[in-house]
Amino acid sequence: MQIPFSAFNAIPYWMEYQEKKPLIHCMTNHVVQNFTANVILATGGSPAMIPDINECGEFTAIASSLLINVGTLTERAAAAMIHSATTAHETGTPWVLDPVGIGPALYYRTSIVAELLALKPTVIRGNPAEIMVLAGVEAKAQGVDSEEDVESAFEYAEQVARDLGVVVAMTGKYAV
């Protein structure tokens, strides 16, 4: 199996990112919020966390992109995420969906992710188990950690990318 993307393909995009210094609206889980902000700052972007439904849509409209991570999902957060994703869809703002922990054990979160998928994310970022669930395949996970390996989920990542017309970024260990 060959990975269809290399670091060399990313160089022009990386340079453009650093030149533009994008404003990135992050609706992310509390566990990684500080880490996410620091990585965006360290790479030249500008992070903002606007979680309230009364402001998030308007902020999404002026942001360069939107990140939605459903890791610590609440009903209130879900409503705000759907509102921001709707705005991104309407304005053509690129956005990333991280469907943390989806699967049959977490029905509510999985149903929210289904609503978000209907709003056409630009990129889906997930571990092998999350990607397999999106492909409609049973997958093993321990909480939010995948017990599936990248190699076994690669064909499902390709399927999700084709079926949904998105870029799929799959996390996890890959043996080269």
pTM to 2 decimal places: 0.90
CA 162 to chain centre: 17
Q: Which amino acid is at 50?
A: I
Q: Which amino acid is at 98?
A: D
Residue 6: is it exposed, middle or buried by C-beta count within 10 angstroms (0-12/13-18/19+)?
Answer: exposed
Pull the structure tokens for residue 51.
């979680």
Strand pairing class (123-126; 167-170): parallel
Across the chain, which distance is largest between two alpha carbons, in Å? 47
Strand order in the sheet with 23-27: 46-48, 23-27, 65-69, 95-98, 123-126, 167-170
Region 48-76 average pLDDT: 97
pLDDT given for residue 81 in this prediction: 98
Region 94-104 average pLDDT: 93
What number of CA atoms fall less than 13 Å from residue 12's CA on the CB side?
Answer: 1
Q: pLDDT per residue over 133-166, tens digit each?
A: 999 998 766 666 666 677 888 899 999 999 999 9
125, 66 contact by CB (below 8 A) = no
110, 97 contact by CB (below 8 A) = no
